[in-house]
Structure 1
Amino acid sequence: MSWLTARLGRWRDARQAASRFGVSQFGASRFGHSRFPNSRLDSAASAAARARQASLRRWGWAGAVCGALLALLLYAPATWLASAVAAASGQRVLLAQAQGTVWNGQAVLVLSGGPGSRDATALPGHLHWTLRPAGLGAMVRLRQACCLNGEVGLRVQFGWSRLSVQLQPQSGWTGQWPSALLGGLGTPWNTLKLGGALRLSSPGLTLEGTAGRWLVQGRADLDILNASSPLVTLSQLGSYRLSLFSNEQGQVQIVLSTREGALQLSGDGLWGPSGVRFRGEARAGEGFQDALDNLLNIIGRRDGARSVISIG
């Protein structure tokens, strides 16, 4: 009988344990045919799976947005750069028919008289550029077969209400363009219809704009070589130099001088926050008064034998 008593005791203990978990001796719940402990595990696993799926969806959307932004940055169209250049120059420097991207592109360079002007002159061929980030700015490299001496570098840096543009030093001249390009700027250039060439040279030049004021470090010389005009019977007017440099007061000094020629030009001025202020004069060289009389009336305000040039 002892073995029967022990067995009944074990059966009773098992039934009491099952009752505490809500499960009968046959494995069924008092609430129906479900296994309560396993159901709680299944619910926890389902919740974890749903959380993982939600997290994966969030990461998927984040990756898609980042990928789209990166693609937009890498393949930003060249027309965006053309719009920025036009806005910065007051619609006077235009990159027409822009192709490629902001980082590698090409366009036709056009000089215009600004908004509302009907005067515009385009350079032959295409201006090619590459743009790369450099510190807090960018490095721009320009190439144009017709007009640039090899590759010209511009370093652009941005700051708080500050913009700096540095022309990299280069041996020899930097760029050369037909003087007729000036006709796109409007009066008086479109009337003079200058022939000859413009040549820019610089040992290094930095333009820094702060609060509407431009400061210059270095120097640049723009030579007008073998200038001519259909308004006179002379084959050539002469050659001239317009120099741009900083003076002791940190202002941008402008000096116009004659290198040689029948038409004598001279003058100086300042480029400040209010724009360019320039005063100069034009005279006919000895023996050329009659040939240049009509031109002197057009260039500026006539004052006897000279023509007074006033800008700003």
Structure 2
Amino acid sequence: MMRERTWRGLAAGVCVVLAAYVLFLVVLAPASLLDVGLRRATDGRLRLAQARGTLWSGEGLLEVRDANGHAIGKDLSWSLQMRALRHRRLDFAVAVDRAGEHFPLSLSMHGVELSDLDLSLPASAIGVAVPRMAPLGLRGEIVLHAAKFSLVDGVPSADAVATWKGAGSALTAVAPLGSYELRLGGVDGSLDATLRTLDGPLRLDGRATWRGSGPLALAATARVDPRYRPQLAPLLRMIAIERGDGDFVLQPGSPLGGEMSRGHGEKP
């Protein structure tokens, strides 16, 4: 009996030591592992370049990349908040840009949650993230404020707004085309987006719905002021179906894709 207890105690001790060793290795795991995870999860679209530190405290350059390796990046830093470990989740304080305010990011077995995120990017980032938009040469600035966003157990929820300021395109001399607001909210496990025009000669309005999986359900229209129609109609015909009198209907997946096969100005 004494020998059995001794072996049990020894086995328990070995397990504790091994667990501590594994935890030690995880804590010291290099931040570059985040780049590996992002690259695999996004087919190379998102990368963490110049990663320094560990998984729990580090910094790097978060990049959006296209297939040709062109990238737009933002400085990123993070640190683990140790007090959250007892709740079986990982809470990080994250900052975008070196002088940016930190926002909370929480990871758990159920999903991800964040709040109070402020981010600005050049509009050209849209072309990097969505390659078929790249030939439009989008210009201006995208400013994002996310009061909250979560994807928990496959159920999305959000309260966010993105503003496209001084929107433009390399394919037209009309600048700016306008400023636009995309508001995102979560309803019954789906994300609903509303697009509206703040100002400018090109008016965009629309709605979109995403349920966490499957395609984006999009309905959007564009209207051009009469004096700008000669300059803007050719651009809009590349991404929408013309209905007449300066009205266009934007189609999902249409930019420089399927809708172009109908020909410029050809109506269904």
Answer whether TM exceeds 0.5 for this pair: yes
Question: Counterparts of 1:156-235 in structure 2 under 5 Å?
Answer: 156-159=107-110, 163=111, 165-169=112-116, 174-202=118-146, 204-210=147-153, 213-216=154-157, 218-235=158-175
Question: Counterparts of 1:62-211 in structure 2 under 5 Å?
Answer: 65-66=18-19, 68-113=21-66, 117-118=67-68, 120-123=70-73, 126-132=75-81, 134=84, 135-145=87-97, 149-159=100-110, 163=111, 165-169=112-116, 174-202=118-146, 204-210=147-153
Which amino acid in the other structure matches residue 82 of structure 1?
Answer: D
Q: CA-atom RMSD, angstroms?
A: 2.9
- Consecutive unaligned residues of structure 1, counting only runs of 5 or more, are 1-47
- Consecutive unaligned residues of structure 2, counting only runs of 5 or more, are 254-268
Change (3 A) 1:153 1:261: same
Per-residue deviation at 1:67?
5.1
> For residues 139 and 90 of structure 2, what CA distance do their matches in structure 1 show?
36
Bigger RCO (CA 8 Å, 6+ sep): 2
Given the alignment, which residue of 202, 209, 213 partners 1:270?
A: 209
Contact 1:121 1:183 in 2 (8 A): no
Q: TM-score, normalised by structure 2?
A: 0.78
Contact 2:143 2:162 in 1 (8 A): yes
Per-residue deviation at 1:108?
1.5
In the other structure, the counterpart of 2:262 is none
Q: Extract structure 1 runs of 4+ deviating beyond 4 A.
A: 54-64
Identity of aligned residues (%): 24
> For residues 97 and 141 of structure 1, what CA distance do their matches in structure 2 show?
19
> For residues 245 and 66 of structure 1, what CA distance do their matches in structure 2 show?
42
Change (3 A) 1:98 1:301: farther
Question: More displaced, 100-109 or 77-86?
Answer: 77-86
Relative to its length, the structure with more strand (as a share) is 2
> For residues 207 and 13 of structure 2, what CA distance do their matches in structure 1 show?
64
Per-residue deviation at 1:294?
2.1
Question: How many corresponding residue pairs?
Answer: 244
> Are residues 1:251 and 2:190 paired?
yes
Aligned to 1:288, the other structure's residue is in SS state: helix
